[in-house]
Structure 1
């Protein structure tokens, strides 16, 4: 009987696991430390590669720890990571106004209200159709 290939991980799944280990540690970790924190199932070289990629993206910083590097996240949590990714995408485009306008136009009513609150607008603004009622968070 032919061997069934192992299921592929979702894109970014390993990066998320490594970041979760770094966030939980509250201190810099070497690839070996991360490997232990993740239960030892991944090869240290795989973890070192993931950490190097995260470093290249600016998601972690590294300092020398003997012959290895120790890594610290530059974002505090998954929300900070998502915000950084959104900012990176925005920075890639020259027409920021159009990108932001399209982003906002695709928000749910509740998310649009939340964004307006975060930007300091009064929540009782004159609402257009579909923007004033229902869907409270």
Structure 2
């Protein structure tokens, strides 16, 4: 092995994909579909040199994260997005928050590091989704 621990002399190290990069690409492909599609359809459009089993694994992980839905019993299984890339990031953030014992401290810390633009956007979004907003239900009683 060479000094970098990857490949031999003269070989270019293979770049590891960032966490969630493939999931985001799969969601993007699914988002371009006009109806639920098969994993083979997704694979054809990814153009990433992936195997069919890798695509199935990614779709299954997205399904576990509730970012995609799966229809059909038996074959073929059809997939469609429930969340886009932003929705997937929001799901990740929510899962991280759910794991914390002191949610108030985590949220306070998060808000304290936002840019002024992001803070204003968050205030607007919260105001728009207040208790009287259509389709909302409070998670806990008001204090």
Deviations 1:94-136 (A, max 9, x none): 2111111111111111211221222229xxxxxxxxxxxxxxx
> Which ranges of 4 or more aligned residues in structure 1 deviate by more than 4 Å?
none
Stretches of structure 2 that go unaligned for 5 or more consecutive residues are 1-8, 129-143
2:28 — aligned with what?
20
Summarize the alignment of residues 102-117 of structure 1 with structure 2, pairs less than 5 Å apart: 102-117=109-124
C-alpha contact (below 8 Å) 1:63/1:71 kept by paired residues: yes
C-alpha contact (below 8 Å) 2:65/2:91 kept by paired residues: no
Whether 1:67 aligns to 2:103 is no
Q: CA RMSD of the aligned region, Å?
A: 2.1
Q: Cα distance, 1:78 vs. partner? A: 2.1
Summarize the alignment of residues 12-91 of structure 1 with structure 2, pairs less than 5 Å apart: 12-39=20-47, 41-64=49-72, 67-75=75-83, 77-91=84-98
Pairs aligned (count):
120
Deviations 1:70-90 (A, max 9, x none): 111111x22222222221211
Stretches of structure 1 that go unaligned for 5 or more consecutive residues are 122-137
